[in-house]
Amino acid sequence: MVHFELYRAIRFRQERPPLDFSLVIPCFNEEESLPAFFKTATQVFDAAGLSYELIFIDDGSKDNTFTLLASFAETRRNITVVSFSRNFGKEAALYAGMERATGDYLGLIDADMQQDPQTALNMYHFLTEHEEYDLVAACQEHRHENFALKFFKKTFYRLFNRVGDIDLIADASDFRVMKAHVAHAVLSMPEYFRFSKGLFSWVGFKTYAYPYTPHPRFAGTTKWSFFKLLRYALDGIISFTTSPLRLAAYFGIVAFFASGIYLLSVLYEYCIRGIDVPGFPTIVGLVALFGGLQLSVLGIIGEYLGRAYLEGKHRPLYIARTVIEPKDENERFI
């Protein structure tokens, strides 16, 4: 495929033979889960007889994640480890991993064993058997989450698909397997605020929603608090639609007509029925109402402006402190 050749030639290390599959694993304080993950993933992919690589991104972990990853790299030649200088977030970690992938197919998977390496392999086989699809996104059938979180996520997808300019596949996780040209397309978007569910929808391509049920976390705790998720959801909406900015215009139109009707009714009371209309509560009420509206609209504009400001700085998405390449087996400090 011409896409694959182009992809490799432009972006990636050409000296290595092409691989069938690259698996990218973002890790943030995952020392408890990683040994089990490494064991399972290598068993599954060795047994499949594929040429593959594992690309671990240590996203500024504070525990022994990096030491563990370095010890994995000692035992095999198909391991890449990129260790960030601090925690840059899962999105940056995915980007760094995708950038280094050399496989014809590329998978993204969490390190906590909620997503099964065997499922990743099944998704890979699905893609190789179905030429018409470019991307397989695992969609959660049952969530091990409380009711409030489930409700929040469902509402988010509904809201996003209503106001957003692209449609997200509901419940599609970041657990994906794709052909190399899809990864290339996603990498061609170097934006700082990355919302990968949206990026994958934006680039298009034929996506298959692969049903799966995530396991409970093997060890450790989720890195997402409710407020972190809320922030992420807002980032997603702001990255992919400008419709909240139109709210100010809608509010303005509604306020214009409402105040027209109100004025007419005051005139009617005063001139026709001769009733004195007491103004104080009305004025206080209206000032408070419009003050609130104006502040919230300003806040929305501020969110967009802030993002435009940060995007304009063109900062790198991550800074790597250490990279362990598969070929030289030595740590290289950069």
Positions touching ligand UDP (CB under 6 A) are: 26-28, 30, 59, 87, 89-90, 93, 110-112, 114, 222-224
- Taking CB under 5 A as the binding criterion, the range among 37-45, 83-91, 111-119, 305-313 that sits at the site for Mg ion is 111-119
The entry of ligand UDP, Mg ion, none that residue 111 binds, CB within 5 to 8 Å by partner kind: ligand UDP
Please tell me whether residue 59 binds Mg ion under the rule CB under 5 A: no
How many angstroms separate the CA atoms of 52 and 46, rounded?
A: 9
User: Is the Cβ of residue 226 or residue 268 nearer to ligand UDP in the bound state?
Assistant: 226
In the complex, least distance from residue 111 CB atom to Mg ion, rounded to whole angstroms? 8
Contacting Mg ion (CB under 5 A), which of 31, 53, 58, 112? Answer: 112
The entry of Mg ion, ligand UDP, none that residue 321 binds, CB within 5 to 8 Å by partner kind: none
User: Is the Cβ of residue 111 or residue 127 nearer to Mg ion in the bound state?
Assistant: 111
Q: How far is CA 222 from CA 40, 152, 325, in A?
A: 21, 17, 29
How many angstroms separate the CA atoms of 161 and 329, rounded?
A: 46
> Which two three-digit tokens encode residue 332?
């290289």
In the complex, least distance from residue 198 CB atom to ligand UDP, rounded to whole angstroms? 16
In the complex, least distance from residue 113 CB atom to Mg ion, rounded to whole angstroms? 8
Question: Tokens 């680039």 belong to which residue?
Answer: 203
How would DSSP label each residue in 215-234? PPPSSS--S--HHHHHHHHH
User: Is the Cβ of residue 26 or residue 181 nearer to ligand UDP in the bound state?
Assistant: 26
The entry of ligand UDP, Mg ion, none that residue 134 binds, CB within 5 to 8 Å by partner kind: none
How many angstroms separate the CA atoms of 146 and 149, rounded?
A: 6
Longest dimension (CA), the chain: 93
CB 113 within 8 A of CB 218: yes
Which stretches within the chain are classed as H helix? 2-11, 34-48, 65-75, 90-100, 117-129, 147-163, 180-187, 196-203, 226-240, 243-267, 280-312
- Taking CB under 5 A as the binding criterion, the range among 85-93, 94-102, 109-117, 203-211 that sits at the site for Mg ion is 109-117
- Taking CB under 5 A as the binding criterion, the range among 113-121, 133-141, 293-301, 316-324 that sits at the site for Mg ion is 113-121
Q: Is 42 helix (H, G, I), strand (E, B) or coil?
A: helix
- Residue count of the chain, please give it: 334
Would you give the DSSP letter of residue 311? H
The residues, any chain, with a CB within 8 Å of residue 279's CB and separated by 6 or more, are none
The entry of ligand UDP, Mg ion, none that residue 28 binds, CB within 5 to 8 Å by partner kind: ligand UDP
How many angstroms separate the CA atoms of 74 and 311, rounded?
A: 38
In the complex, least distance from residue 71 CB atom to ligand UDP, rounded to whole angstroms? 18
Contacting Mg ion (CB under 5 A), which of 114, 119, 207, 239? Answer: 114
In the complex, least distance from residue 145 CB atom to ligand UDP, rounded to whole angstroms? 9
**Residues near Mg ion (CB under 5 A):** 110, 112, 114
